[in-house]
Amino acid sequence: MTPNPWLDMLNLINGFQVTQAIRVASTLRVADHLKNGVRSAAELASLTESNADALYRLLRALAAVGVFREGPDRTFSLTPMGDCLRTDSATPIGGWAEHVGNPAYWGAWGDLLHSVRTSENAFKHLHGVDVWEYRVKHPEANTIFNRAMNDMSRGGSEAVVKAYDFSGFRHVVDVGGGQGSLLAAILRVCTQARGTLFDQPQVVAGAEAQLQAHGVIDRCNIVGGSFFEAVPAGGDAYVMRHIIHDWEDDQAIVILNSCRRAMCEPAKLLLVERTVAPPNELPGKFSDLNMLVAPGGRERTSDEYAALFEKSGFELTRVLPAGTFNLIEACVT
C-alpha cells in the first residue's frame, strides 16, 4: 500500500473515538455476554439495556478495528482482543478502558495544553483537587480506578513472576499494592513466603476477598496507611508496582526513604515501572504524558531511576524486561 501521511495522521487524530467506543462496550459488559458464543445485536441490546440500532453501530465500528467480529445478520463474536474485555479474562483490560474514558479523567487529557504551557497538573487544574483527593470524595471513581488497577496488575503479574526469581524471599511487602493481585501472584509461586499488603485504608478495604479468592489470605497481612509516613518493616523484598511514576522526584524520594527505613540488608527493592525508551522509540512516552495530566508524576529512564536511588539510600543493580514493563532491582547501601 502506498504510504499516505495525511491518512496516517488522521487515524492518529481520531484515536479518541476508538477509546470511547471501547469504554462503552466494556461498561455494558458486551464481552461477557459474548463469552459463550455468537449473539445478535438485538440480543445484546436486550441484555445490556441498550438501543438495538445504536448498539449495532457501536459494535460494527469496533469490529472494524478488530475488537469484535461481525457475522451475518448483525451477529457478533469475540476476537482475541475483545476477549480481554471480559471481566474474567486471564489478561483483562476493560477496567482500564472504563477508567481512562471516565469523564473526570478524560477531561484532564482535554486540558493537556494547560499542562504543557505551565507544567501544572491538568487534573488538579480542571477539578480543583488532585486525583487522590478526588477519588476519596467520589467513591464511584475510586471503584472504577481500583478495577482498572486490578485488571492491569492481573494482566501483568504473570510477566513479573516470570521475569524475576522470587523464590529466595521469605516476606514480601507490596507497597501501594492495591487489592493484592501482584502479591497474590508472587505468593502463588513462592509457597514458602508470607506477604504484607500495604496501601491506603480505603484501598485495602476490599483486599481480603481477593486474596481469599487467590488462596493466599492465610499467608497475608493487610495494613492500611500512607507510604509518605512509614511502611511495614520486616520484609526481605519490597515491591512497588506503578507507584514511583505517580510522583515527581521530591515526593518519590520521600516514598523511597520510607521503604529504606523499613529495610535491612540484604533486602531488595523491586519496582515494576515503564522505562522511557531512547529518542524516536515509543515505550514510556505517552504514559509520561499521562503522568503529566493526571497523577502528576513522570516516567523515567533507567539513569533517572538510578539517580533517585542514590538520593534515598539504594543502588540500582539491574533492570529486567517484564512484559511491557521493566522490573528495576535495587539494594540498600
Q: Active-site residue among 99, 171, 242, 245?
A: 245
Of 292, 300, 308, 307, which Cα lies nearest the Cα of 326?
300
Q: Cα(54)–Cα(25) distance, rounded to whole angstroms?
A: 12
CA angle at residue 148 from 237 to 293, to 5 degrees?
A: 95
Give the position of cell 478495528.
65
CA distance 34 to 241: 32
Say how far apart CA 230 and CA 312 lie, in whole Å. 14
What are 237's three cell numbers?
Answer: 523484598
User: Which H or E run contains 222?
Assistant: strand 220-224
Task: Name 68's Cβ contacts closer than 8 Å, sequence gap at least 6.
Answer: 25, 30, 34, 59, 62, 76, 77, 78, 79, 82
Residues with Cβ < 8 Å from 242, sequence gap 6 or more?
149, 152, 272, 273
Amino acid of residue 318:
R
33: annotated active-site residue: no
Helix (H) or strand (E) holding 289: helix 285-293
- Report, as residue numbers or ranges, the catalytic residues: 245
